[in-house]
Amino acid sequence: MGIPKDLFDFKIGTLELGKKNLISDVEGVRVGHFTLDDGNIHTGITAILPHQGNIFREKVVAASYVINGFGKSTGLIQIDELGTIETPIILTNTLSVGTALSGLVKYMLKENEDIGISTGTVNAVVCECNDGYLNDIRGMNVKEEHVKIAIENAIDDFKEGAFGAGTGMSCFEFKGGIGSASRVVNLDNKDYVLGGIVLSNFGSKQDFILNGKKFFTIEEEKLFLLEKGSIIIVLATDIPLNERQLKRISKRASIGLSRTGSFLGNGSGDIVISFTTSNKIKHYEERDIINMNILNENKMDLVFRAVAEVTEESVISSLVHSKTMIGRDGNVRKSLMEFI
Active-site residue, 230 included: yes
Active-site annotation holder among 64, 96, 182, 230: 230
* CB-count burial class (<10 Å; 0-12, 13-18, 19+) for 332: exposed
The residue annotated as part of the active site, out of 25, 73, 270, 274, is: 270
User: Which of 268, 314, 322, 335 is the catalytic position?
Assistant: 268
**pLDDT value of position 173:** 95
Residue 270 annotated as catalytic: yes
Give the list of residues 6+ apart from residue 99 with CB closer than 8 angstroms, or none: 92, 140, 142, 143, 144
> CA-to-CA distance for 105 and 110, rounded, in angstroms?
9
Q: What is the pLDDT of residue 340?
A: 81
**pLDDT score at 10:** 75
The rounded distance, in Å, linking the Cα atoms of 204 and 292 is: 43
Buried b (16+ CB within 10 A) or exposed e, 264-290: ebeebbbbbbbbbbbbbbebeeeeeee
Separation between Cα atoms, residue 234 and residue 272, nearest integer Å: 6
238 is catalytic: no
| pLDDT at 4 (0 to 100) | 65
pLDDT, mean of each 10-residue run, the chain (340 residues)? 64 96 98 98 98 98 96 97 98 98 98 98 98 98 98 98 98 97 98 98 93 74 65 98 98 97 89 98 97 97 98 97 97 94
Give pLDDT, residue 65: 98
Task: Report d(CA 29, CA 161) in Å as an integer.
Answer: 19
What's the confidence (pLDDT) of residue 229? 80
pTM as predicted: 0.96
The full length of the chain comes to 340
Contacts for 152 with CB less than 8 Å, ≥ 6 apart:
32
Q: What is the pLDDT of residue 1?
A: 60
